Homo-oligomer: A and B are copies of this chain.
């Protein structure tokens, strides 16, 4: 009784999967069968399989069964690269994938930045109720698989107000990306910074991304800099079960 039963059962199931006794795609015995096999209640077996579902080793389909996941295929989201590797390399492929057919929806509005965003933008104290940021909410979808990335960006109105780029997705520079848009008003974006972590999805996020409640998402907090000035921050949410973030760079000082 050192470990809870459901942990023991999960461990044994994981072992059976990794040694190949349960092949990818294979269906697990039904709950009541596993319960009999492990001499445990069905609820306990369920907790065990839930653990493995969250680990990404299993997938379940109501009415059909619980299956060993096929080699998890993750979309590679290339966040940085410092040189082109030769054709045919993984990088080429990933870049190509990333640029593949897809679409996005967005909506922009001005608002007063919440405290946490103020801090990231270096905004200082709010001025009454005055709106001081442009917020844009994006949903990115691939044509074949539906939504796969959510993003919310904030840009200080102190920089963009009255310029042609105030609305990120309107005007002559719509959809051109932060770097190009700010270049159009003479602001040279020269650096980025991303902080990555992960947590369970909120209900909203899970619904928008079409994943189960409580499944895992990665959060990328991005900032773009022009010198020491932060010109944009964004929160990017992707499902961890289907996405990898790819970073690469050179070794050594510069």
Contacts and interface: CB of A to CB of B under 8 A. Distances in A.
Interface of A: 3-4, 7, 10-11, 14, 50-51, 54-56, 74, 76, 79-80, 82-83, 85-86, 179, 189-203, 213-214, 216-218, 224, 228, 240-241, 243-252, 254
A171 B75 CA distance: 41
A90 to B, nearest CB: 8
A79 B241 CA distance: 22
A254 B248 CA distance: 14
A191 B248 CA distance: 7
- Number of this chain's copies in the assembly equals 2
Given A85-B228, A213-B51, A245 B56 contact: no
Per DSSP, chain A at the interface is: mixed
Contacts of A55: 199-202, 214
B14 A250 contact: no
A246 B195 contact: yes
Contacts of A247: 79-80, 193-196, 247
30 contacts: A51-B200, A51-B213, A55-B201, A55-B202, A79-B247, A80-B249, A82-B191, A82-B249, A83-B191, A179-B251, A190-B250, A191-B249, A192-B249, A193-B247, A194-B247, A195-B245, A195-B247, A196-B196, A196-B218, A196-B244, A196-B247, A197-B240, A197-B243, A197-B245, A199-B240, A199-B241, A216-B216, A218-B218, A224-B251, A247-B247
